[in-house]
Amino acid sequence: MQATFDVTCAIPRSGRTFENILARFRALGADSREVEQILDITARSKALSSTDYCEAARFLDAAVREIPCFGLFVDRKRRHRPYRVGFLGHEWTFDGVRVRVEGEEPHNGSSLIRLDEIDCAVVGLDELLTMTQYYLGDPTAVTKWGMYNYHLDKPTDIRIAGSAQLTRYNPVLRQDVQDIVGFFLISKPSSRFHAPEAEPTGRGRRRSQPYPRDFLAHLERDGRRVFVKGRYQGVVATAYPELKVVPVEDVEDAVVEEGPGSVGLEVVQTGNTLKNKGLLLHGAPLFLSESLWVADYRRYLKNEALQRFIQHVEPVGYFDDERIRHFALWYLALEINLGDTWINRPPVTTLFCEQKDVNHGLRPYRLQTRYWRPDDNYKQDEAIALVERSRLKLRDYYERYKAELGNSLV
């Protein structure tokens, strides 16, 4: 049996990232009719999932007759764990390279690269931090994806090539915005605390105090419970070893049900769920994440087809202009949506890149850069100057968009 493809690529088998990456593949030359068929079937698959295998298989039979690229999987994100139709695999040709695109569990992409079973994948930094902490010298220092390769200090071929820059319609700004998210501390309002700029409430010794700047460190000292999804438990424990982490299925619901002052750590993109449930967002996230192109670097060096494919999908650098523009839009949308309920909101430039981040490896690199890792000596001054120009550019984008969009949307 002979392989019919040159490159293997793993993507999520369902969900928003799956939909976004297929839309991207269509723009890169994948058959538009095939993509529409696949998206239509996966859009119906959640409603037609079932805990009865035979019932779910009937929809699978209909789906594969339409386009044979689906299989059944167990939807573990839902409590009753139904059988569901999901994307299994399909081959497309990009720039003369035959690519087998395979559907996987979202957290499996980096594991498959680590196990030498696939060439590349679309994954988020949250997955990488969860599944590959062992290879990082200091996982707590990797708060942005541009720092990941720099901190790899144990043997592994996993490398981030760049951002996939997948976008989705943002209802706040009413336009497409990149799928950036933050792993934030959230809480249910409490009479014990008030926003730093607000007036204290209560009387005498019971008067409220301003929320601490580093609320997580305060919670660690105070011995408070913090709700976290189980998959992030290890990441949080590494950053705050004394924190009382409680794993739950739904962080926002757990915070709401626990009562005033309860806290959790959750991935936040638009803030809509927090707003609807009356919850607060605190400070800067533990890390920022987005959809990334991740590859087996050893295979990349040896496989010309993989090189051509990665270059064709055009991974975007952390400091690329278009990414800076989308970062300004994402931050502005979150700011507008949450308003004063984003407590101790950091400036957009601070959230994007601080001086300590530069010292910890957040500097530009290209596909031509050895190991896709910024060098500590080569053209260091030029790299630092580019970082500063990027921060200024971000501030300009943010101020311009806030003037153009903010007043009309608030």
Q: What is the pLDDT of residues 214-236, one digit of tens each?
A: 888 888 887 789 999 999 999 99
Topology given in CATH for the domain delimited by 7-171+289-317: D-Maltodextrin-Binding Protein; domain 2 (3.40.190)
Q: Which amino acid is located at 348 in the chain?
A: V
**Taking the model in full, what pTM does it have?**
0.93
Asked if residue 204 has pLDDT above 50, the reply is no
Asked if residue 203 has pLDDT above 70, the reply is no
Q: Which residues contact 139 (CB under 8 A, 6 or more apart)?
A: 129, 133, 151, 235, 238, 239
Q: CA-CA distance, 297 to 383, in Å (whole number)?
A: 23
Q: How confident is the model at residue 1 (pLDDT cuts 50, 70, 90)?
A: confident
Q: What is the pLDDT of residues 78-89, one digit of tens each?
A: 889 999 999 999
> Which residue bears the tokens 């957290």?
107
Please state, for a pLDDT cut of 90, what percent of the chain lies above it: 79
Average pLDDT over residues 45-65: 96
Partners of 202 in beta bridges: none
Write down the H helix ranges in 47-181.
53-66, 109-114, 125-131
Write down the H helix ranges in 248-352.
251-258, 272-276, 297-302, 304-313, 321-338, 348-352
Give the 3-state secondary structure of residue 215: helix
Domain boundaries, the chain: 7-171+289-317, 182-288
Q: CA-CA distance, 87 to 65, in Å (whole number)?
A: 14
Give the 3-state secondary structure of residue 191: coil
378 alpha-carbon distance from chain centroid? 30
124 alpha-carbon distance from chain centroid? 4
Q: Decide if 7-171+289-317 and 182-288 have a common fold.
A: yes
pLDDT of residue 224: 82
Closest-CA residue to 317 (of 177, 164, 157, 149): 164
- Of the CATH numbers 2.60.120.40, 2.102.10.10, 3.40.50.150, 3.40.190.10, which one belongs to the domain with range 182-288? 3.40.190.10
Partners of 296 in beta bridges: 158
Please state, for a pLDDT cut of 70, what percent of the chain lies above it: 94
Cβ–Cβ under 8 Å, residues 286 and 183? yes
Do you know the residue count of the chain?
Answer: 410
Q: CA-CA distance, 122 to 292, in Å (whole number)?
A: 5
Asked if residue 379 has pLDDT above 50, the reply is yes
Among the residue ranges 32-41, 173-182, 237-246, 300-309, the one predicted with the least confidence is 237-246
Q: What is the pLDDT of residues 329-369, one digit of tens each?
A: 999 999 999 999 999 999 999 999 998 999 899 999 999 98
